[in-house]
Chains A and B, each alone.
Chain A
Amino acid sequence: MHPVQDFLNFLILGLTRGSLYALIALGYTLVYGVLQLINFAHSEVFMSGAFGSYLVVNSVVEDGSRPPWYGVLAVIILGLTSGGLVGAGVAWCLERVAYRPLRRRGAPKLAFLISAIGASFFLSQLFGKLFNRLNNNNFPSFFDQNKHVVQIGGVYITLMQAIIMVSALIMMVFLDSLVSRTKLGRSIRAVAEDAPTAALMGVNIDKTISRTFVIGGFLGGAAGYLYGSALFFSNTMGFIPGVKAFAAAVLGGIGNIRGAMLGGLLLGVVEATVPTAPWYKPGWIGIEWTDVVAFLVLVLVLVVRPTGILGERLGRAA
């Protein structure tokens, strides 16, 4: 028993989980930035990404096959893009159906929340109906997920963890530069800062909002692929990661892109390390208290900093 070693391993687990949370949280935060609304149906975007990528990946590789490394890489990239594209498509439809009509009617803010909840029920059950309602579907296994790619003493990173962290990192860097450097990013920030003024400056608000949903949906869908291939997927898989990612977005300061990334990582690390950390006597606090610890941390942070760690505006993030 090496407490430090265990701690580091759990830290890595936490970072892996955290990067998934961060990817999903970005979807919440982007939408919040432009609309000041919690997109409650984002968890179903995540879920649909897993289903969509499964259909593609399953038709490309067989369970138990062992393609060469570039084949594995190609399939993973295919899975990420297909998951992302399905997620983006679902997010786009969502904006069209559950948000835009309400925006046109000037509905009260909570009406959006409820229409998103309705859409969430609908999507999750529709996917269950169309595919299946089992709660432990698995992706075909075509590489050894538990191979240790990095090992220093007893501390190791498995291949799947590495894939998740690296791809999440790449996507986040990409998103960050997209939002801070491109014209689209500028229009997103402008709408987040002050939508009517942005409209006066010639930004097409509808289009920008739509594209924001698509970007967030892509990240969520890709996260769905990663989550599904690391663990399992089902039509109800979205709910708990969705809630956690929403908490992560709030933790970092909702509407703030780097905040969402930070919040996601932090939440993942807290969840994985605190209940199991070596400084607790064994049995003092069990794994079943994970959620309590995570939410207590959230509450404490919010009591000290009511708008999250990094504050809230999307406009100021970059």
Chain B
Amino acid sequence: MKRRSVEAEARIENLKRFGACLAGGFVLALMVGTQEGTQQDFGYAFRQSVAMPRILIFLGIGVLLYLAITFGPRAKPYLTRPGLRPLGAGVLTVIISLTLLKWTDSPQINTGKFRPLADAAAPTQALDSLARLWFGSAFSQTAWLLLIIVTVLAAAGMIRRSAPLSYAAAILAGVLGIWAEYASAAVSKFLHYPSHATGGAVAMLGFFTIAVASLVSARSQAAEADTDGFIDRVLGWRPGLALVVLGFAVGLVGVFNAAWFSPGDRNATLSTTASMFGATNLNGFAQTYLDWLGFVLFFVTLVVAGVASYLRHRLLAYAAIVLGLVSTLLTLVVVHDFSALGGKQGFDGAQGAWDNLGTGAWMTCAALSLFAGAGYLVLKDLRIEAKGVRAGSDIVGSGTAGARGQVAAATMLVVIIAALFYPPTATEFWQTVLVSEIGIYVLLAIGLNVVVGWAGLLDLGFIAFYAIGSYTTAYFTGRLPVQPPDWLLLSPLACIPFAIAACLIAGVALGFPTLRLRGDYLAIVTLGFGEIIRVIANNANGFTNGPRGAFNIPAPQIHLGPIHLTWGDSALGFWYLLLVLIAIIVLLFNRLENSRLGRAWAAIREDEVAAQATGINTRNVKLLAFAIGASTSGVAGVFFASQVGSFTPENFVLNNSILVVAYVVFGGMGSLPGAMAGAAVLTWLPEFLKDQVPAEDRQMWIGALILVMMIFRPAGLIPARRRKAELSGLDRPSSAEATAVPAGEGM
């Protein structure tokens, strides 16, 4: 072999990097290029994409990328200043909101994004002048200009470590955030269109992030940033406070600014709603709530939760929980009452209970629940502390671990509250997506996570169990050519045990002969199983109704004593049903990972022979994983069948099985929140991309995203704790040492 000098090696390495960057630019040019050629002119799109002046721009991007990679490290000392990373996140958020997100749902503005809205709003004389200024009447694009100014100001403050600059940036960013939200609300008021668009709120969030980053920078004495450590310290210090602040921001908008009742093109805020119903015979309590009690409840809960979080006071924390939950319930009751009455009175075509609601009530509910959550966090913190003291362990050591737990708990609370109160404010389209894409695949991913993530068995035919669940439902509701005996006709929800049983049997039947196969052999056998089930469903006309599938499956109903629940056309009802199912399953699975069984799975996953040698009955344990995963999938199948009402074998193609595996691994194999997040993100993305790229190209972008994600974060979005521990040592987060003695406060 030839030997090369070190410099020559480096030069070749450099050249390779340059070539790779140019290739990246080239591929990007292809990705955003023209659509397809024709049968006659095959290379048309290709030639258009690499046409001369155009390709130079993309090669230029490649060169820039190369320069960034090569000279990036030199800027590193400046890039680790405190606050720079959050600043980047904030700026990115604002940019996303200004380019990608919708600022209004009104059909008058063609895509509803910032640019067309600004073009329409800036010259509109009747619009509030402050809002008009935001959209750019004075300068061509005020919002962009202000973003650049605040970014430069904040960055300068951080890099030069100048506190006055940082304070100025923080104040400016705070004002801009409020301004963005204000302008967005003014536009939606002006357009008389109840808006569900998130653009303004996200921009506000981004600006507030910039403000917080600048404040941190101004207050910080450290030369190097430690964002994770900082978040840990804040949440470790007063865990509930973050939730209180979040709830305060959400609730302020909810109580004062957002629409509560919007029949026709009215956007009545809380106080206008009160005056709307003033002359009607709305029951006394609801009227009182609308008149003043709503505000009072919000502020009282806010104060109680805030004080409880700051003082870490046990009684006040209980009070915050009770107040938060009770006032959430009261709000819901009031919302029900006035919307029902509004429907009866026919205000501007109001339709009845739970209809024509704006976002305000839901935001208020979210805020109140966040206050209750803050109370919960305080109690949890006190409990951890009490435990630590009793056990006499050193607080320093458990401090960071406790903070980690608090971060996780706070995130979980926010996610739960968002899952409860965001969907009603979403458009009908997004509600449908939430149920029939996101929710169902989250459930499937939870099931597959047991098989793939915990037990390490690669299952490429998972969708087969989903199909079995769906067909079981169709059978027991009497919608297949073969009918069950009359006394066995069931309502869809009552099919769940039968579907679970059918999937258990199928899982064991598949698993029993094949589970002695190792990894990739098992993968192909399960893949074959999935295909066999689909082909049977497609061809056994007499039993499964063949390619026409099953239809007219009834929606679920519950009649239990006085409780009568029926689900109909609204996706929202199905969402809450699904949420209940997911919650039950997550509660059941939550403790599984670290149970005896979960540890057995981990052992098999890591080394099957060794696991067997330690006395684990590998066959039974694997069968259990298979059966548990399969029955989860069966539950998802029941839900799917009764939600869509009709399905065909085309719903159960192999591609879907592969996608579920991709969701689980993308999210973080073996981590329950990871699998859920992976499924949610990857099912949300195609719908989101609908507004961003040509519809045909969506899969290409998703493929590219999965690829890039796996290259840079192979452990997934939210890596499993066990796997992380294997990589970096147990109970020692990577930043623990760095935070022990902050650089500026050492001796």
Which A residues contact B (CB, under 8 angstroms)?
Answer: 32, 38, 54-55, 58, 97-98, 101-102, 105, 107-115, 117-126, 128-134, 137, 239, 243, 246-247, 250, 254, 286, 288-289, 291-292, 295-296, 298-299, 302-303, 306-308
Contacts and interface: CB of A to CB of B under 8 A. Distances in A.
B609 interface: no
Contacts of B710: 98, 102, 107, 111-112, 114-115, 118
B430 to A, nearest CB: 24
21 contacts: A101-B711, A110-B452, A111-B669, A114-B661, A115-B710, A118-B706, A118-B710, A121-B700, A122-B703, A129-B696, A130-B33, A130-B36, A131-B36, A131-B43, A133-B36, A137-B39, A246-B524, A288-B535, A291-B532, A302-B524, A308-B521
Nearest to A44: B703
Interface of B: 30-31, 33, 35-39, 42-43, 45-46, 49, 452, 458, 513-514, 516-521, 523-525, 527-529, 531-532, 535-536, 538-539, 654-655, 658, 661-662, 665-666, 669, 696-697, 699-700, 702-711, 714-716, 723
A51 to B, nearest CB: 8
A108 B724 CA distance: 12
A59 to B, nearest CB: 10
B703 A131 contact: no
B8 to A, nearest CB: 17
Nearest to B23: A93
A133 to B, nearest CB: 6
Nearest to A122: B703
Given A115-B707, A126-B30, A129-B31, 12 more contacts: A110-B452, A114-B666, A118-B705, A122-B703, A126-B700, A130-B30, A130-B46, A137-B39, A239-B655, A247-B528, A296-B532, A298-B525
Contact of A299 (B528, B703, B706, B707): B528
Contacts of A112: 710
Given A107-B715, A129-B36, A121 B535 contact: no
A102 B518 CA distance: 23
The 8 nearest A-B residue pairs measured at CB: A121-B703, A118-B706, A107-B714, A295-B528, A122-B703, A125-B700, A115-B710, A118-B707
A210 to B, nearest CB: 13
B523 to A, nearest CB: 7
Which of A124, A132, A308 has its CB near the most chain B CB atoms (within 10 A)? A132
Contacts of B535: 288-289, 291-292
Interface of B is mostly: helix
Contacts of A54: 42
A114 B706 contact: yes
Nearest to B522: A302
Contacts of B458: 110, 113
A119 B524 contact: no
Interface centre among A121, A254, A288 (most CB of B within 10 A): A121
Q: A-side binding surface: helix, strand, loop or mixed?
A: helix
B345 to A, nearest CB: 53
Contacts of A247: 524, 527-528
Nearest to A255: B520
A183 B700 CA distance: 39
Contacts of A108: 669, 714-715, 723
A22 to B, nearest CB: 16
Contact of A122 (B531, B536, B538, B700): B700
Contacts of A55: 42-43
A120 B658 CA distance: 12
A259 to B, nearest CB: 13
Nearest to B605: A108
B700 A111 contact: no
Contacts of A97: 707, 711
Given A114-B666, A126-B31, A121 B702 contact: yes
B38 A132 contact: yes
A131 B706 contact: no
Contacts of A114: 661-662, 665-666, 706, 710
Contacts of B705: 118
A122 B704 contact: yes
Contacts of A109: 519
Contact of A125 (B513, B520, B661, B699): B699
Contacts of B532: 291-292, 295-296
B531 A295 contact: yes
Contacts of B708: 118
Contact of B654 (A115, A243, A299): A243
A302 B703 contact: no
A123 B699 CA distance: 10
Contacts of A129: 30-31, 33, 35-36, 45, 696-697, 700
Contacts of A98: 707, 710-711
Given A102-B711, A114-B665, A117-B662, A131 B45 contact: yes
A152 to B, nearest CB: 35
Contacts of B716: 111
Contacts of A102: 710-711, 714
Nearest to A51: B42
Contacts of B36: 128-133
A125 B665 contact: no
A131 B524 contact: no
B538 A288 contact: yes
A194 to B, nearest CB: 18
